[in-house]
Amino acid sequence: MVLSNTCALSLCLDGHGSRSLDSPAFCSHLIMVSLQQMSTQAAPSEQWFLAKGHKIECRTRPLIMGVVNVTADSFYDGGRYLKPERAIAHAMDLVAQGADLIDIGGESTRPGSHVVSEQDELNRVLPVVEELARRISVPISIDTTKSRVAQCALDHGASIINDVSAMRQDPAMASVIAGSGAAVVLMHMQGTPQTMQLAPSYADVRSEVLLFLEERIQHALSAGIARTNIVLDPGFGFGKLVFHNLELLRGLSSLLTLNRPLLVGLSRKAFIGTILDKSVEHREWGTAAAVALAVDRGARIIRVHDVAMMVDVVKMASAASRAWPSQREEE
């Protein structure tokens, strides 16, 4: 006798059916099997991506992406790593702490940030990318919306483009990525960094983010970017109020239907500070809680400032979550 998950749960919980079906032992077993099946069905079938021909696995554990802001005005560490030598040293320290990827940005995307010229952005990031490509073995991501910055970074050793505009700001971005074989992170944002927090509004934030990302996948495919090279980011804090971010976090697993690895950037975000009434310097524990929830709901790449701490958080969260293979399964 084969029952759907819904019917099986209904028979047990409603108390209907024959004596064998509504026995406590049978119901307990059936509910457990149903929940396991639903958990399995929620997992994405593709848990890896390609970046310039290299396969990056995120099947057995979440990957940590360490943030290196070569900027004057980023919301947390703006100005701290503006000098190339300090940015390079910081990136190497993050790798030593356990970062699987390094994300380098030369233009702040915090709410109300100022636009940086293409040349200024190149001057900031290229020396860092070029030197790190010689000194570290982990993949390098460039956080940019400009196609020329992306191309130059790819030429000097980067293999991932993290575009917060999802290739909407610069029409040439898609062809640069397609031609290089780089991976691309497509992020949802309502508005621009300069306008996104003025009055964000959604009828249903989960559905709208999903539809947006689905449309950007199709745009990427039509431009010649392989599906295997696409990573998705729901854009926490980008054009979203506190309750939008919470609703998105609660329903994060719904985005797994897009069948691409999910990257989340929750590190020290303003909505965490609002909930906890904490300044940006004291949001690490709120970040840890949000990251653990995201890992349990299927996030594959975690973009953070505090690498050493989050390595432990994601290791514990993935070990306890049904969304990830158990250690016994991997032995």
Could you read off the pLDDT of 194-248 as tens digits, one per residue? 677 788 889 999 999 999 999 999 999 999 999 999 999 999 999 999 999 999 9
Choose the catalytic residue: 110, 146, 240, 269. 269
Q: What is the share, in percent, of the chain residues with pLDDT greater than 70?
A: 80
269 is catalytic: yes
SS3 assignment for the chain: CCCCHHHHHHHHHHCCCCCCCCCHHHHHHHHHHHHHHHHHHHCCCCCEEEECCEEEECCCCCEEEEEEECCCCCCCCCCCCCCHHHHHHHHHHHHHHCCCEEEEECCCCCCCCCCCCHHHHHHHHHHHHHHHHHHCCCCEEEECCCHHHHHHHHHCCCCEEEECCCCCCCCCHHHHHHHHCCEEEEECCCCCCCCCCCCCCCCCHHHHHHHHHHHHHHHHHHCCCCHHHEEEECCCCCCCCHHHHHHHHHCHHHHHHHCCCEEECCCCCHHHHHHHCCCHHHCHHHHHHHHHHHHHCCCCEEEECCHHHHHHHHHHHHHHCCCCCCHHHHC
Pick from 37-46, 191-200, 237-246, 251-260: least confident: 37-46
The structure's pTM equals 0.84
Choose the catalytic residue: 110, 240, 268, 303. 303
> What confidence score (pLDDT) does residue 77 get?
56
303 is catalytic: yes
Domains and CATH numbers, the chain: 5-38 (no CATH), 48-330 (3.20.20.20)
